[in-house]
Chain A
Amino acid sequence: MNAITAEGLVKTFGSGEKAVKAVGGVDLVVPEGTVVGLLGPNGAGKTTTVRMLTTLLAPDAGRAVVAGHDVVREPQAVRSKIGLSGQYAAVDENLTGRENLWLFGRLYQLSSKEASKRAAELLEQFNLADAADRTLKTYSGGMRRRLDLAGSLIVHPQVLFLDEPTTGLDPSSRLDLWDVIRERVAEGSTILLTTQYLEEADALADNIVVIDHGVIIAQGTADQLKAQIGGERIEVIVHEPEALGKAEQVLNVGSGGQCVRDDHTRKLTVPTHTGSKGLMQVIRDLDEAGVGIDDIALRRPTLDDVFVKLTGRHAEDDDTQAETAQGSAS
């Protein structure tokens, strides 16, 4: 049984020459009890897709069924079965944590008593009990996100949508939130998560869908995607340009001829499947060969690497290119 099925979702904003196709035909299947990570840079169409799936936005074309109900024909039924936590921590900062959760409970049509009970449970569960009766003004960014997430779990939603849940958080708050999300996963929740960070999708999702310019450009498990983009690699910057040739030879021997050489930056890149062990091997080999090193590092693939691999361009270049193209066209 699929918790989310979307076919050919399209959304265009504006009209005429200014029309921007935010989502250009997205197909998505999320089986019950799985976590799917929708990965893409800013403006890729992640949020627009989530807004269509959560009934906030009517698609121009295509259809989507969430928790057994069509998002256009039965929006109210969909809303009663989903939880949504957005990237802005949409909570009232002049209400206390308890009041916010009570408010959400009431709007999920719980009785006042049930809503109070559920608020207390969630505050306890999310380690916010001590701050329960303080207004959100006094909360840190991480606490607000946790409360926002708690608000989306009031009714044990069948499907949980998390739109960039950790964007803008400091690393320790991010790890905290990951733990909270992992607990949901362990309980068997179905989650659609959007993120700009490959490591986040990697850490939380069973399946990753890469989206760019409103179109899905790749999907698979984290391992499949990483295998596709080459996984971890070692980057070496040699001290002297003359040593590049020798170093390249050494690395090619170790990797079976997969070394990539960049003369301009004196950089050699080689894939590895053995992590830090491979890194130490490379250091030993280069040392034996008498090659001086300025810098050496083990690099994990990032969203940018995915993009370079899949589209041949950098994720960040993208916007400027698109803008230039638009500028010259108009």
Chain B
Amino acid sequence: MTTDVMPTAAAPSRVGFNQAFTDAMTITWRNIRAGWRVPDNQIYMFIQPIMFVLLFAYVFGGAINVPGVDYVDFLMAGIFVQTMAFACAPASVGLADDMQKGLIDRFRSLPMARSAVIAGRVIADLVNQFIVLVIMIVCGFIVGWTFHNGFGQFLAAVGLLMLFAFAMLWVGAFIGLSVGSPQVAASAGLIWLFPVVFMSNVFVDPSTMPAVVQAIAEWNPVSAIASGARELFGNQSLVQSDAWPMQHSVVAALLWCLLIVAVFAPLAVRKYKKAASK
């Protein structure tokens, strides 16, 4: 018996860009096609956004009073941001599910680009998130919201929201690949999102919060994205805050998104490689 000691890391198997792209598109197709057949996802994509817009516009809208501001005009960008933040959910649950069911292993035994599993997940969820955003914007128009800074800035705001969704997808991918079961991904993996979203200027004015919470809210990336989107849409914003991210919200929003991607994309890829070699 000869026992050669081999390097522990597998030699990288290069596949061309064309193949990586085709494989990513194939996995994207699979995620969209299969995802749309799951009732949970249909509710998440088509019912929930409409429900949120209507609930906040017509139920809470009258009760929540942000001084000097027309609530629907103020609110809508906040709901968009909240929904984009929850882009974490499908990414984390989807990847955890694939991992648990052995699909990731199966894919890895095929002569395909390894990057396609994560790339296909992220692209599919971006497509889905974009559809959700379009539905919400249309709902917004219906309840009387609109943009005031012209179509160019409107598109820039949509771009910013999609960039935020893209960033949050990587957070979701990291969680999904870390927790190991879709049930955990759907519960413990998402619970932190509620305080993160609510301790912000998404729904209310942070100046009504206790000082510490207010400081958190002003530096919360979610607040920066919401303020940035409001500025680009030309919607009413809150001007009371002197915090830097609130004064330079579009720049702050972009920086936050890039920072989240820079941290979580490598983490998720590392988790994927590690989880896959167990």
Contacts and interface: CB of A to CB of B under 8 A. Distances in A.
Interface residues of B, number: 40
A61 B2 CA distance: 10
A62 B4 CA distance: 5
B101 A88 contact: yes
A268 B38 CA distance: 59
Contacts of A297: none
B111 A109 contact: yes
Nearest to A73: B11
A94 B26 contact: no
B105 A86 contact: yes
Secondary structure of the B side of the interface? loop
Interface stretch (A74-82, A125-133, A250-258, A305-313): A74-82
B5 A56 contact: no
A80 B13 CA distance: 12
Interface residues of A, number: 42
B205 interface: no
Contacts of B101: 88, 90
A98 B48 CA distance: 32
Given A79-B109, A86-B105, A86-B106, A57 B2 contact: no
A135 B228 CA distance: 43
B208 interface: no
A197 interface: no
B19 interface: yes
Among B14, B22, B102, max chain A CB count under 10 A is at B102
B61 interface: no
B34 interface: yes
Contacts of A72: 6-7, 10-11
B240 interface: no
Contacts of A88: 101-102
Contacts of A25: 1, 3
A76 B4 contact: no
Contacts of B251: none
Contacts of B37: 94-95, 135
A56 B35 CA distance: 26
A103 B26 contact: yes
A275 interface: no
A76 B26 contact: no
A90 to B, nearest CB: 4
Interface of B: 1-11, 13-15, 19, 22-23, 26, 29-30, 33-35, 37-38, 101-103, 105-112, 116, 276-278
23 contacts: A8-B1, A13-B278, A25-B1, A56-B109, A56-B276, A57-B277, A58-B277, A59-B6, A61-B3, A61-B6, A62-B3, A62-B6, A74-B11, A79-B109, A86-B105, A94-B33, A94-B38, A95-B37, A106-B22, A107-B116, A108-B110, A108-B112, A151-B106
Given A58-B277, A103-B30, A106-B23, 6 more contacts: A76-B13, A90-B106, A92-B103, A95-B37, A99-B33, A108-B111
